[in-house]
Structure 1
Amino acid sequence: MNIDYDQQNSESKPPVAIPVEQLSAEVLDAVIESFILREGTDYGVMEISLDKKKEQIHRQLKKNEIRIVYDFNTESVTMMTDLAWKKLPKS
């Protein structure tokens, strides 16, 4: 099988928002925890527990302040603010 990687990379797809309702509680928890751990643990003067940070993210998701986003190009899932999502170019 011969793959033309240059052609494959030039065909980028825009990211998609994943509705929280479509994720099981276990998957949602794993996505949130992965995001928190990837973002680091320096919260300034006061240290925030993992559970507290998870609660904050759940609250932001319910208020539609942040979105879970899948990027086809990097094959990764992340979170971003609603404002950042709206600024992304759409195809």
Structure 2
Amino acid sequence: MIIPLDAVDTETLHNIIEAFILREGTDYGEQEATMLEKIAMVKLQLQQGKAVLVYSELHQNVNILPAKQFNQAAATPEDY
């Protein structure tokens, strides 16, 4: 289930994004970005609809997924 960004408190969203970044260990190119820069990048992707904030009833957790990946997973609702 997609969680609308406006339904999440600003600080909570910040913490979710930070936890996502720490968990994923994403590569940001040749120059390493600061945590604040990474958070801003992920937040922008969420705002642009390139990524979505999702709640998994199966796993009872919140995650950030690329929108395309979520749309593909929606075909198998038992996963999300």
TM-score (norm 2): 0.84
> Which residue among 50, 67, 74 is the counterpart of 2:59?
74
How many residue pairs get aligned? The number is: 76
Pairing 1:32–2:9 present:
no
Unpaired stretches in structure 2, ≥5 consecutive residues: none
Give the structure 2 partner of residue 12 of structure 1.
Answer: none
The DSSP-based 3-state class of the residue aligned with 2:2 is strand
Runs (4+) of structure 1 exceeding 2 A deviation are: 41-45
TM-score (norm 1): 0.75
After superposition, what is the alpha-carbon deviation per residue over 1:25-48, rounded to whole angstroms, capped at 9, x for unaligned?
A: 011111101100101265453211
The DSSP-based 3-state class of the residue aligned with 1:17 is coil
Taking CA–CA contacts closer than 8 Å with sequence separation of 6 or more, which of the two structures ends up with the larger relative contact order? 1
Structure 1 residue identity aligned to 2:41: Q
Structure 2 residue identity aligned to 1:25: T
Change in 2 beyond 3 A, CA 1:60/1:44: closer
Structure 1 residue identity aligned to 2:40: E
Question: How many Å separate the matches in 2 of 1:83 and 1:42?
Answer: 19
**Percent identity, aligned pairs only?**
30
After superposition, what is the alpha-carbon deviation per residue over 1:45-89, rounded to whole angstroms, capped at 9, x for unaligned?
A: 321110000110111111111001111111111111111111112
Q: Higher helix fraction: Structure 1 or Structure 2?
A: 2
